[in-house]
Homo-oligomer: A and B are copies of this chain.
Amino acid sequence: MSRKIRMGMVGGGRGAFIGAVHRMAAALDGEIELVCGAFSSNPEKSRLSGKDLFLPADRCYGSYEEMIKTEKSLPADIRMDFISIVTPNHVHFGPAKMALQNGFHVVCDKPLAFDMKEAKELQRLVKKTGLLFALTHNYTGYPMVKQARGMINKGKIGAVRKVVVEYPQGWLSTKLEATDQKQAAWRTDPKRSGIAGAMGDIGTHAENLAEYMTGLQIKKLCADINIMVEGRRLDDDGNVFLEFDNGAKGILFASQIAAGEENALRIRVYGEKAGLEWSQMEPNSLIVKWLNRPMEIMRTGVGKLYPEAQHATRIPAGHPEGYLEAFANIYKNFALSLRAILAGKKPKALHLDFPGVDDGLRGMRFIEKVIESGKSKQKWIKF
C-alpha cells in the first residue's frame, strides 16, 4: 500500500498545546498525513486553525460529528483512515465512540475518558469493532523504557521487589487557573477534567509507566490526596503506596505543586539482582545498578539493545532523542499496524507495542481508586 496513512484530528486548534504535539509526532516519520480536522467546537476557529495547517477549507469541519459523517461519505482513496482525539478529557468519549461506530480507527489522548462508565463503553466498542485503538501514554515510547521492560521481563534484575515512580511538576504552584491560562483552567475544572486533577493528568502516566515497565499489575493501593493551593477544586498533589500482583511494594507520587520541577517523571525498579533507574528528562540513559559490581549506563543506540528498543530509535547514539520522538513512536507503531490491517495483513507484534484501550481502562480505575482511597480512613484498598 504505497501511500501515507490519513489522519483526521479532533481538537488541537489555535492556542492548544497537545494537538501540536500530536501533529508533530504524526508527521515525523513520513508515515502519516493530516488530511482533515475538527479543530475546535467553534467552526470559524476550526477553519482558521485548519488553514494554518495548509488544509483545504472543505476538510476543516465545524464539529467532530460533521467530520466523521462527511469523511465517511468520501471515496476510499481520499477519506481519513483514523481520527486523533486531542481534546480535554470530557470530549474524549464522544468522538471516540462515534469514530468506532463508523469504522474509523482511533488515537486518543489520555486519560481514556471522563469516567469509568465511558471508559468501559469504549472498551466494549473497541473489542466489538476490532478497530485499532491507541492511547497516547507517550512515555512508554522511549527506547530505554522499552529496554528496561525487556530486561525485567527476561529476569535480568530478578524478581521485582520495589518500585518508586514519581512525577513532580511545579507549574501549578500558584493558582494559575485564576489567570486565563487555558491548560490550567480545564485541568483544574471537575467538569472538564473529571474527579481527579494531578492524579488524572500525570498520576496515570506514572501508573502506566510502572505497569508497562515491570509487566506487573497494581493489586492494592493506599493514597494520600491533597489540594495544596487554596481554592483549587481538584487535587494538585498525591502520594500512593502500591502493592503489585507479585507482592512487590511501591511508591507513586505525582505533584503539580513541586515548585521548580519541570516534568520530572522518574522510575526506579529494584529487583533481587539489580536496580533500574530511568528519568524522562534524561531519557536516553538507563541506569543499571548491579549488586557488587559497577553500575552500567545503557544508552539509546549503544551496543546490543532489544529489538523493540532499536525499533524505537531513529538516529545514532549521542544525538539526543526526546519527547517528540517518543511520542512519535506511538504514532509510528500505530501507523505500521494500521498499514498492515489496511493491506489485509496481521500487524507484527513489534508494531503492536503501543498502549491501547485496556491500558486506558486501568488508568481510569487508578483515578477512581486513588480518589476513593484518598477519602478513606482505611489504609489499603483493592485496585
Residues of A with Cβ closer than 8 Å to B? 2-4, 17, 20-21, 23-24, 27-30, 34, 51, 53-54, 157-158, 161-162, 164, 166, 168-171, 173-174, 222, 224, 226, 228, 237, 239, 241, 249, 251, 253, 255, 257-264, 268, 270-275, 280-283, 288-299, 301-304, 314-325, 376-380
Contacts and interface: CB of A to CB of B under 8 A. Distances in A.
Contacts of A54: 2-4, 30
Contacts of A304: 293
B292 A295 contact: no
B299 A297 contact: no
Given A3-B54, A54-B4, A293-B302, A162 B228 contact: yes
Given A255-B162, A291-B174, A222 B318 contact: no
A72 B21 CA distance: 35
A273 B259 contact: yes
Nearest to A226: B249
A239 B259 contact: no
Contacts of A316: 17, 171, 262-263
CB-based closest 8 A-B pairs = A260-B289, A262-B318, A263-B318, A320-B322, A322-B322, A319-B323, A260-B275, A294-B296
A258 B290 CA distance: 10
Given A321-B323, A324-B315, A299 B303 contact: no
Contact of A322 (B17, B173, B319): B319
Given A295-B296, A324-B315, A259 B275 contact: yes
A110 to B, nearest CB: 15
Contacts of A2: 51, 54
A306 to B, nearest CB: 13
12 contacts: A24-B314, A168-B270, A170-B275, A173-B273, A257-B270, A261-B275, A262-B301, A263-B316, A281-B320, A283-B320, A294-B299, A321-B323
Contacts of A283: 320
Given A237-B161, A237-B162, A292-B303, A169 B318 contact: yes
A292 B280 CA distance: 20
Contact of A253 (B164, B261, B264): B164
